[in-house]
Amino acid sequence: MTRGPIEPSVDVWVFRGPSLDSTDVVERVLRAYPNPDGHPPAHNRDAHGRRVVADREELSLSTSHTDGIVAVAIGSHCRAGIDVEAVRERSILRLPDHVLTTQERHQLSCVDDALRFTTFLAYWTRKEALLKAAGVGLAVEPSLIELPAVGITGVIAVADCLRPALRWFVANVDIDGCIAAVAADVPSPRLRFRRVRPGSGD
């Protein structure tokens, strides 16, 4: 039987609870992706300190944590990135100039004051997720990435080293109490969400 084309996918796992250890969480998640021998794949860190799945080229791994939440993105046949930020009161007076493009700053200025901070985080998390998926982190200035308005998926423009922009999928995702985003280096991955309560089984 001829197999159809492989469909890239991103699984988003969300763990909540006090004193969560991200390494323990990653090991728990990887039990859902066993090797042919039935054992979960190992994971380690690359030369840049990023978590990677060992000996499974088809899988990518990204983590983010904030305020009792650990989120893990597992990309299958694509590179995935995730970022989660708790919604707290904090000043953003100087941040937009360092993070946003001219058009994004204009969009932010049109938003009601009560929504300005969460709108900024919606831009920031999408950019951070994309940079994690690309494996470059903040070595690329976030202001070199231009995104559409909040609520619209995709990317308008990226730094030269990340072109073409159309290859990237970026979207905000719903995690209670947070602003979060997931990204992948393919235009339309299949997304699956896995929310896990403390003490529950895999």
- pLDDT of 154 strictly over 70: yes
Residue 135 Cα distances to 2, 3, 61, 101, 116, angstroms: 33, 30, 11, 21, 29
Question: How far is the C-alpha of 143 from the C-alpha of 37, rounded, in Å?
Answer: 45
- pLDDT of 149 strictly over 90: yes
In a 3-state reduction of DSSP, which class is residue 156?
coil
Provide mean pLDDT across the span 120-146. Answer: 93
User: Pairing relation of β-strands 51-53 and 43-45?
Assistant: antiparallel
- pLDDT of 177 strictly over 90: no
Question: How far is the C-alpha of 137 from the C-alpha of 200, rounded, in Å?
Answer: 33
- The model's pTM is 0.90
Residue 12 pLDDT class (50, 70, 90 cuts): very high
Question: How far is the C-alpha of 156 from the C-alpha of 110, rounded, in Å?
Answer: 19
Question: How far is the C-alpha of 16 from the C-alpha of 69, rounded, in Å?
Answer: 5
- Give pLDDT, residue 158: 95
- Give pLDDT, residue 94: 62
Provide mean pLDDT across the span 57-86. Answer: 95
Residue 154's contacts (CB-CB under 8 Å, 6 or more residues apart) are 147, 148, 166, 168, 169, 170, 187
CATH numbers and ranges of domains, the chain = 9-196 (3.90.470.20)
Question: How far is the C-alpha of 94 from the C-alpha of 54, rounded, in Å?
Answer: 40
Question: How far is the C-alpha of 108 from the C-alpha of 88, rounded, in Å?
Answer: 18
